[in-house]
Amino acid sequence: MNARVVFAIVLVALGLWTAAGFLPPLIWATILAVALWPLYLTFAKRFMAGPSPAAALVFTVLVALIFMTPVSLALYTVAQQSDMLLDWLKRAREGGVDVPDWVARLPIAAESTQQWWRANLSDPKAATAWLKTLSADNVSNLFTTFGGQLVHRLFLLFFSLLALYALLCSGRTVAARVLETCDRLFGEAGEGLVEKMMDATRATVNGTVLVAVGEGLAIGASYFVAGVPYALTFLILTTAFAMIPFGAWLAFTVAAIVTISNGGSGVAAAGVFVWGTVIMLAGDHFVWPTLVGGSARLPFLLAFVGIFGGLAAFGLIGLFVGPVIMAALLAMWREWIFRPESKA
């Protein structure tokens, strides 16, 4: 028996080491499969005559489109502005850049910003020195490196979608094997532990999407009120980036800057930033942990620690792994350790 256990541990370790580079996309695929499984079953029964490889393929393609649309929009916007950025750097090095009119309309620190601009960017020599590390060659190298990373990330995304398709095709079989394994390893409490982890995963994904959509719509409304250029585009980007830590902050900050640079009111731009800050602080620190904790039956404190502690420990994927770990710990404490004696 001991030899079998050691051999199994060695095989598991070798398997994890072999698949180390693919573990993140595999984890993402598993999270998506668990979270989207009820929705997939509904889709397959309503539109595809039940779960099947064809239904799994169509559903996976729809998931890919949902993920790729905002990303493609963001990349297209960045690509449009790249030529403008390179031209601006060239003009700054050759003849300096005059202080734009919108700097004077900044609601905060307008005078100090103008002084800094004149000292560092208006004078050609000073601009050349300040922009030395941001030369056109370095920016081109940055875009080249970014392109290589983009290809790598797209491959991992393709692998995640491929794994998601495989899990949707074999979802019932995989779930049955996992439950059987947990029953053999942990006894009757193993199945309950798996159910708690699945509930936490679904709650975290659903809570993240709902809060991101709510934050995006609430902040996006301020874009139309404040007259932000390309308000609809910024609304889509803010909603998509709200699912990424600090992503929405970047989106509405850029929206405020674009508003000023295109002749908008400094007060309106400041209102966009302040409103976005209020919405994000309320959504991320109160609504999100409450929603996730309530759906996963986690106390608020454990949900808060799971979300932000997981984010700090594991990166973006910890956003979902953290609450799952907290749910597993709570289930273990309730069902394995703390067992009130039944009254006769």
> What tens digit of pLDDT does each residue of 297-337 get?
667 777 778 777 887 777 777 777 887 788 777 777 766 66
Residue 175 domain-assigned? no
Q: Which pLDDT score, from 0 to 100, does residue 84 have?
A: 62
Residue 180 domain-assigned? no
Question: Do both 164 and 241 map to the same domain?
Answer: no
Question: Do both 320 and 211 map to the same domain?
Answer: yes
Final residue in a domain of this structure, among 141, 169, 197: 169
Contacts of 238 (CB under 8 A, 6+ apart): 215, 216, 219, 220, 248, 251, 252, 255, 276
Question: Do both 190 and 306 map to the same domain?
Answer: yes
pTM, two decimal places: 0.63
Final residue in a domain of this structure, among 139, 169, 199: 169
Q: Which residue has the tokens 């409490």?
A: 189
- Closest C-alpha to 138, from 149, 146, 126, 148: 146
Please state, rounded to an integer, the average pLDDT across all residues of the chain: 76
Q: Which pLDDT score, from 0 to 100, does residue 342 have?
A: 47
Residue 181 domain-assigned? no
Q: In the chain, helix, strand, coil percent, each to 5?
A: 85, 0, 15
Buried b (16+ CB within 10 A) or exposed e, 86-97: eeebeebbeebb
| Number of domains present in the structure of the chain | 2
Question: Do both 216 and 250 map to the same domain?
Answer: yes
What is the DSSP code string of 311-334? Answer: HHHHGGGHHHHHHHHHHHHHHHII
CA 89 from centroid of its chain's CA atoms: 31
Q: Which domain holds residue 278?
A: 186-344
Q: Which pLDDT score, from 0 to 100, does residue 60 have?
A: 92
Q: Which pLDDT score, from 0 to 100, does residue 344 have?
A: 41
Question: Do both 78 and 206 map to the same domain?
Answer: no
Question: Do both 280 and 339 map to the same domain?
Answer: yes
Question: Do both 164 and 193 map to the same domain?
Answer: no
Residue 177 domain-assigned? no
Question: Do both 278 and 156 map to the same domain?
Answer: no
Residue 280 domain-assigned? yes
Final residue in a domain of this structure, among 169, 204, 236: 169
Question: Do both 231 and 260 map to the same domain?
Answer: yes
Question: Do both 148 and 245 map to the same domain?
Answer: no
Mean pLDDT in each 10-residue stretch from start to end of the chain (344 residues)? 75 83 85 87 87 90 82 66 62 65 62 71 64 53 57 80 89 80 70 74 78 88 87 84 79 86 80 91 81 68 78 77 78 63 46
Question: Do both 12 and 85 map to the same domain?
Answer: yes
Question: Do both 240 and 134 map to the same domain?
Answer: no
